[in-house]
Structure 1
C-alpha cells in the first residue's frame, strides 16, 4: 500500500466523528449476527440494537416491556403468558405475529442451530429433548393461542423474563434464513425488529446500523457505527483522536494516571463477570491429572495480577461466580486465605505429585485471543508458571473466530483463555456452562455429580434451597480443578462528555436507543 493510502486510512480511522453518528468501539469482529447463534459480548452489543425480545431492559439494566406489553405467571408457576403489543413490525414493514415468534423459538432450539445459550432454557417443557433431536421442534413448550399471545410451559420454577433478554430469544426472520441461509445476516438480507437495522458491514473494520422506521419509538441517534477495536491500546488512541464516542474497554494502565488524563470520561463499575483459565480435560497433559491442574492454579499470584497487570479495580478470584450475584453466596478454593508463599509451596508439592519436576518439566500451551490486556495477563501467568513450577509455557495468540473455534472443539487446546460475562443476574448462568451436555462446556468436564447438583437446584422448592444446591455445585466444580479462576471483572469504558444516557449497570448492557448525543454549541 502506498504511503499516501496509509495516511488516508489513518485519517479516516481517527477523524472527528459526525455529530449524529455514534461511534462505538466494540472489541473483536463479531463471530455472527445470527441471534440464535451469538456466543459472545461482541455480537450481543450489536444484536441489542438490531432486535428486541418479548422483554427488554432500560439504560439501568431494569426489565421493561419489549414486544410484549405485559405478562403474567400462573398460580402453579408452570405457565408464563406474554401479551404482544399491537402493530409489531419487522424492519421490512411486514407484520410480526405470535406465530412467527413461536416458529423462531423452534428454530433456535433445533439441533442444527446449535444455539450456545439453549442450555439456559431447559426449564421450558421439552426444550432439552428438542435440542437433542429426541423430539421435533413442534413439541417445544411454546405456543401461540392467537396472533398476540405467547404461552410458555415450564417444568420448574424459573425467572423466565430475565432469560428472555438473551439473543437466543430474539425473533429471527425465517424467510430470510430460507432464502439466504448463513448469508441472511448480511446487509440487505438481515431483517430485524429492533430500534435499528443493519445497513453496512465491512469485515474486520466496522458495522453500521440506522434507525428502523418501523420500530415504535424513534431512537435519538439516527446512525451507529460499531468499530472493530481488537487492540485496546489502538482503541484508546482513536478515542483520544476524536474517532470514538465510547470505547469497549480500557487498556491496562495505572488507574491514577488514567483518572488524571480522562477524569469523568473514565467509567469503572462493578460487573458480573469472571475471568479464568480454561483447562482441556479431554486431552493430555491435563486430562485425569487434578494435581497438575491445581498446581497451575496455586502458582498464580492473583493479587499481583490485579494490582499491577490489570489494575482497573478487578478483584482476585478463587471461585467461579462473582460477588454481587443476587440470592447467592459464592464458593471458593479452600486455600484462598493462605498466603501466596503457602500457595506456591503447595503448588510445587502438587506439581511433583502430578509427576513433574526439574528433570521432567511440564510443557504446555496457553492460548488466548488477540487483545492487549489479554496478552499482558497471559504473559504474566506464563511467567508465574515458569518461576514457581519450572513449566515451559508456549503462548498461542489467535484471531477471535479462530480462537473460538479451537476452544469449542477441544482438540488442540490445553490451557486457554476462558471467562464468562453474566447474561442474566443468576449464579446458574455461570455454572450451567460446565454441564456435561453444555455447548459452552469448553473444558469438556464430564461429572455426573456436578450435573446432579444442577438438577437438584432446578428442582428446589424455594430460592434458599436452590442457592444451597448451586453453592454445592460450584464447590464441586472447584474441587475438580476444572478451571483456574483468575479475577472478577469491572466494566471499564471511556465515554465522551457529549454522550448522554450512559448508565452503569451490573450486566454492562448499553443499547444505543437509550443514548443521546448532545448538540454542539453554536
Structure 2
C-alpha cells in the first residue's frame, strides 16, 4: 500500500470513528411558563396576553415588537405614510412565506382584516382596528364589508386608509388581532385551521402539538423569511396558573421562563437567584369592576364608597411587596402624550378620611349599619396574588361597612370568558395591559359600545360624547384635554375601582440570552436563545 493511500485510508477510518463517537445534534429548546391555558388560537377571538405570547411566535403581522419593545418591520419590509396622515402603503417581503411554503400575500392581510371586522365573526378585539376607515361601521353592521379601508394593490402591496390620523397605528398592527390568517387554509379547513398539523402560520415557529392544560409545542418554521437568525429549534409553552408550581419547576430547571410568580416570593427569590428575578414596570392597571346592571352596584354612591374603603397602600406594600404602586386612575402614568392621569377626587385624602366619607356615602345610599344588608361576591381568576388581594379587600369592606363578602374564582380563561360573554356578577377582578401607549386604549374599555371589555356595562352619554370628540380631534393638546375630562367622569362614577399600577414579574433563567425587560411586555421567542 502506498504511503499516500495509507494516509488517506487512515484519515477516513479515523473520521468514521470520530463521527460514530460524536453525540447526536441536540435540539435547542426553550421551556416557557405561560400562566394559563389559552382560550383560543384564532386571531379574531383572542383577548388575553397568554394567548398573544403564543400567537406572536406563530404568526407575524405587518409590524412587530423587537426585543426592546420597539416597533420594527415584520411581514412588511417597509411602509410609506401619505402627507395627510391617512393612508399607509405597506410593501410585503418578497420572501415572506407561510409554513406550507406558499407566499404571504397582500390578499391574505385584506382577507384577515375584513374577517375581524365582519359582524359574523364576532371578533372580541375588533375595536383594535377601528382607526381603519369604516371599520366601526362595518363591525356594527352599518356599512358593507367591501367599504373597509384596506385593499391589496398587488400581491405584495397593502394599502390601508384611516378614518383620522392615528399616531399609534403601527403599534395596533403588531397586536395579535392584526395577525394574518392564511385564506387558503381557512377556506380548506374551516374552524380546524387552528389545530396542530393543520395550522398554517407565517411566523418564526409552527404549531406541532397542543395538549390542553399540559403543554403547547411549537417548532422552528423553516419557511420563515428570517429562519437563519432564529436560534431556537423548539419552544414548549406550559399553561400553568399555579404560581407555586411554576416557581418549583423553575428552581428544578424544568422551565427557563416563568411569567407572573407570586409577589410574596420576591425577596426569597432575589436572594437565591439574584438578577434572574425581573420586576419590570409596565403600562398596566389592576382594578375591580362593578356590575352596574343591578342594585346596589348601579348606585354611584355605593361604588364610590366601596372604592374609597380599599387601602391601596396596603395592597401595594403588603400583598405585592412594593412591586406595584397604588393607583387612583384607570390610565397608568408614564404616557408622554397624556401626562399626569386624572385621579379620583379622594386620592389626596388619608385612608382614615376616605373611610369616614365612604361610611357616610354608604349610609346615604341606605346600606351598612342601620340600613339594608350589603352582600358582595368578589370574582377573580385563580392566582395567589389575586386571592390575597380579594381576601384583603373583603376584610376592608367587612370592617368598614359590616358587609357580608364571599369570594369565587375560576381559571383565567374561564374568568374572562364569563365577563366577556356578559355573565352577571357583583364585583370582579380585572387587569389591563396597554396594547399601545395611548390613554384611549384604557378609557375605551368603558364605552357603552364596547361589548367585549366593558364588563360592568357602564353607560354614560357624557363620557361617550367626550371620547367621541377625542377621536375627531387632531390637535394633540386638545385631544389630551378631552380624554382627561373623560377620565375625570370615569373616576367620579367609579364603574371600575383602580387599585394598582402594575409591574410584570418574570423569572428568567441565566441560560436565556437576548432577554430585555420592556414596558410593552413583548418577548418574542425568535429573539431569544438558550445556552448551556
Please give the range of the TM-score, normalised by the shorter of the 2 chains. over 0.9
1:174-323 map, 5 Å: 174-218=183-227, 219-253=230-264, 255-287=266-298, 289-323=299-333
1:75 aligns with 2:83: yes
Alpha-carbon offset, residue 87 of structure 1: 2.3
1:373 aligns with 2:385: yes
Q: Which runs of 4+ in 1 moved over 6 A?
A: none
Q: Secondary structure, in 3 states, of the residue corresponding to 1:35?
A: coil
Instruction: State the match for 2:23 in structure 1.
Output: none
C-alpha distance in structure 2 between counterparts of 1:206 and 1:266, whole Å: 24
| Aligned residues of 1:277 and 1:416 also touching (Cα < 8 A) | yes
Instruction: State the match for 1:514 in structure 2.
Output: 527
Alpha-carbon offset, residue 461 of structure 1: 2.3
User: CA deviation digits over 1:453-481, x for unaligned, max 9?
Assistant: 11211122222222111111111111111
Unaligned runs of 5+ in 1: 1-17
1:405 aligns with 2:423: no
Alpha-carbon offset, residue 383 of structure 1: 1.1
| Aligned residues of 1:280 and 1:410 also touching (Cα < 8 A) | no
C-alpha distance in structure 2 between counterparts of 1:234 and 1:322, whole Å: 31
What is the aligned residue count? Answer: 501
Instruction: State the match for 1:456 in structure 2.
Output: 469
1:364 aligns with 2:376: yes
1:390 aligns with 2:402: yes
Instruction: State the match for 2:481 in structure 1.
Output: 468
C-alpha distance in structure 1 between counterparts of 2:85 and 2:524, whole Å: 31
1:419-458 map, 5 Å: 419-438=431-450, 439-458=452-471
User: CA deviation digits over 1:227-278, x for unaligned, max 9?
Assistant: 0110111111111111110101121216433321221110111111100001
Instruction: State the match for 2:359 in structure 1.
Output: 348
C-alpha distance in structure 1 between counterparts of 2:426 and 2:486, whole Å: 24
Q: Secondary structure, in 3 states, of the residue corresponding to 1:36?
A: coil
CA RMSD of aligned residues (A): 1.4
| Aligned residues of 2:128 and 2:177 also touching (Cα < 8 A) | no
Instruction: State the match for 1:133 in structure 2.
Output: 141
Q: Secondary structure, in 3 states, of the residue corresponding to 1:473?
A: helix
Which of 320, 337, 351 is residue 327 of structure 1 equivalent to?
337
Q: Secondary structure, in 3 states, of the residue corresponding to 1:418?
A: strand
Alpha-carbon offset, residue 176 of structure 1: 3.0
C-alpha distance in structure 2 between counterparts of 1:455 and 1:144, whole Å: 30
Alpha-carbon offset, residue 284 of structure 1: 2.7
User: CA deviation digits over 1:309-328, x for unaligned, max 9?
Assistant: 12252000101011112311
| Aligned residues of 2:27 and 2:233 also touching (Cα < 8 A) | no
TM-score calculated relative to the size of structure 2: 0.92
C-alpha distance in structure 2 between counterparts of 1:205 and 1:69, whole Å: 37
Q: Cα gap change, 1:198/1:312 in structure 2, threshold over 3 Å: closer, same or farther? A: farther
| Aligned residues of 2:131 and 2:163 also touching (Cα < 8 A) | yes
Larger radius of gyration: 2
| Aligned residues of 1:53 and 1:66 also touching (Cα < 8 A) | yes
C-alpha distance in structure 1 between counterparts of 2:322 and 2:236, whole Å: 27
